[in-house]
Structure 1
């Protein structure tokens, strides 16, 4: 199930209208998404620098089919519309890197390219 782009902004605008702290279950119920997706959106809202949030209390879960015993709640304090407008205007322009074709390279050059661009894994 794909979520539409900008859904986290719609969720952030809906939360102050609700007037109280919101859990992932409230978001899933109101927006028709899964619980896992709504938890991910809560994380996105907390990490977004254009949206000021506060964590609420950790609420116990009453349903028996959940492996989690509690869920967090969050409240949106303010939304900085200027940062969001700048973000929409300059969408990922700083990350643009043209792709290079490796078809014309020799076998040794391809291996050098692979090793040079490989990232080491942390242990």
Structure 2
């Protein structure tokens, strides 16, 4: 979050964005868009898979998320697939994995270590 993204920016999408467990994404489908903030809130509060994929699309996909982890010092967490596939867990499969300590450190850095603007941090804290 460099402070350049607008929360009210409309993210257009169609029926192809509706995947298993996409309650908010389904609700907004008739309008053909969600705002960045609506998608982020749906992803955080509802675990909305369609909203998660919509945001992943906007940042460049799962590989871009992994690059972001590396940029902020997380050498463990990785994202390889979109929803709902990222939830498929096969023993020994390292795709879409992290560790509790890596995730705790990443969340702390994102929320309190300067990775987000104070406005974005306060928004997430309210959720």
Structures share a fold, TM > 0.5? no
**What TM-score, normalized to structure 2?**
0.26
Larger Cα-atom Rg: 1
